[in-house]
Amino acid sequence: MLIRIPPPHPIRSSEITPERVHDDRRRLVAQLGLSAVALVTGCGRSDDAQAERPQASTEIAATDSASTVAPAAGSEGRAALNVAKRSELAGGETLTPFMDVSTYNNYYEFGTSKDQPARNAHTLKTRPWMVTVDGECESPGQLGIEDLVNASTLEERVYRFRCVEAWSMVVPWVGIALSDVLARFKPTSKAKYVAFETFYDRQQMPLGRWAGFELPYVEGLRIDEAMHPLTLLTVGMYGRVLPNQNGAPLRLVVPWKYGYKSIKSIVRVRFVEKEPPTTWNILQPEEYGFYSNVNPAVSHPRWSQSGERRLGELFKRKTLLYNGYTEVASLYTGMDPVKFH
Ligand code: MTE
C-alpha cells in the first residue's frame, strides 16, 4: 500500500533536488529495485510501506549503547551539554544508534522523505533563538535558548519514541521538564491548553513549500499533559546539542504520544482556553486526533498500531499502551480512546 501526500504543486524530484544528489538517488532506487515515488514518505504511511528504513548499524550500536553521554559518532561540531541527572526510562533497552536517529527523520520543512532533513537542515540558523511565551499567563515574555542550554538542571532522559508510522527508537534526550519552564510564566486558570509553533522561514526552509500542509507546523497539549513530569523540553540528544534535523535548538518530546506531537524548532508557546489546531489533525482529522496517545488497540484507519519496528531491527515487537508510560493513564480517566484518539 502506498499512500502519498500530494504536494500542492507536484514537481519532479529532479527539479527540487540538486542534480548530483538526484542522480545518486536514482542509482540507489535502481539498486534497491524501488520506484522513485516509493521514496516519498511521511506520517501518512505505515512502516510496512517504508522500503528505505535503515538496517542495523551494528558498529555504532555497540559504541552508543556502552555510554550515553559520550560523544556519538557523527556528532562532531555540536557542543557537549552539561547533564546534571540521568533517568533511564526505557526499561534498560539498547539505545538506537545515533546515526539512525539523526539520518532517519520526519521534518517536512526540509523535505518529505526520511533522508532529506539530515542533508538539508544545515540551512537553519539556530543562534540567536528566542521563544515567545504568551497568552493566558501573568508573566508573558521571551526565553533565550542560552537560558535553557546553560541551565544547571539539564537532564538526560532515555525514552522510547514511537512514530504513528509504526517505527520506533530508544533515545537519550537532554532537556528540562516543560512544567518547570511553563511555571515561570505563571499560567492563569484560563490556560486549559498549550499551543506550540515551529519557526518557519522560506529562505531557510525552501522545501517547506512542498511539505503538503500549511506551515508553520503547529501542535498542542492539554495543560495537564504539558505539565506532566514526563514531558520534556529538549535541547539535546546523546549528550550534545540537537542536530538541526532532530529539531534544534528546541523541541518537545512527549514519550507516550505518537511522534508528530513532538514538535521541532519551537519559537512560540501560547497558553490558550480552547483546544488549539494541530498540523496533522488539520490535514486528516479522521486519521490524526488531538490526543494521539500510543494505543495498540486503536488502529490507524489505514493500518494496525498493534506492533512496531525499532529502527535497525528486523522483527516487529508489540506496541505498548501509552508506549509503556502507563503512569499517564489517570490523565485520561473516563475518556473513550477511540473518540478522543
Ligand atoms: N516538527 C516539525 N516542525 N515538522 C515536522 O515535520 N514531524 C513530526 C515531529 N515533529 C515534524 C515535527 C513527526 S511526524 C515525527 S515522527 C517526529 O517529529 C520525528 O522526530 P525525529 O525526526 O527526531 O525522529
Beta pairing class for 218-222 and 155-162: unpaired
Q: Is the CB of 165 under 6 A from ligand 1?
A: no
* pLDDT bucket at 46, cuts 50 / 70 / 90: confident
Q: Is the pLDDT of residue 63 over 60?
A: no
pLDDT more than 70, % of the chain: 79
* pLDDT bucket at 43, cuts 50 / 70 / 90: confident
Residues 6+ apart with CB under 8 A from 302: 1, 3, 46, 287
Q: Is the pLDDT of residue 45 over 90?
A: no
pTM for the model stands at 0.84
CA quadruple 184, 186, 190, 191: dihedral, nearest 10: 0
Q: Is the CB of 109 under 6 A from ligand 1?
A: yes
Q: Is the pLDDT of residue 239 over 50?
A: yes
Section 105-118 average pLDDT: 98
Which atom number of ligand 1 is nearest to the Cα of residue 107? 6
Range scoring the smallest mean pLDDT among 6-10, 80-84, 271-275: 6-10
Q: Is the pLDDT of residue 64 over 80?
A: no
The residue to mutate among 251, 262, 284, having the most atoms of ligand 1 within 8 angstroms of its beta carbon, is 262
Cα of 246 to ligand 1 centre, how many Å? 7
Cα of 43 to ligand 1 centre, how many Å? 9
* pLDDT bucket at 49, cuts 50 / 70 / 90: low
Q: Is the pLDDT of residue 77 over 90?
A: no
> How far is it, in rounded angstroms, from Cα 293 to Cα 141?
30
Identify the pLDDT of residue 151: 79
CATH topology of domain 13-332: Sulfite Oxidase; Chain A, domain 2 (3.90.420)
Cα of 264 to ligand 1 centre, how many Å? 6
Cα of 84 to ligand 1 centre, how many Å? 27
Identify the pLDDT of residue 153: 87
pLDDT more than 90, % of the chain: 75
pLDDT tens, residue by residue, 273-329: 999 999 999 999 999 999 999 999 999 999 999 999 999 999 999 999 999 999 999
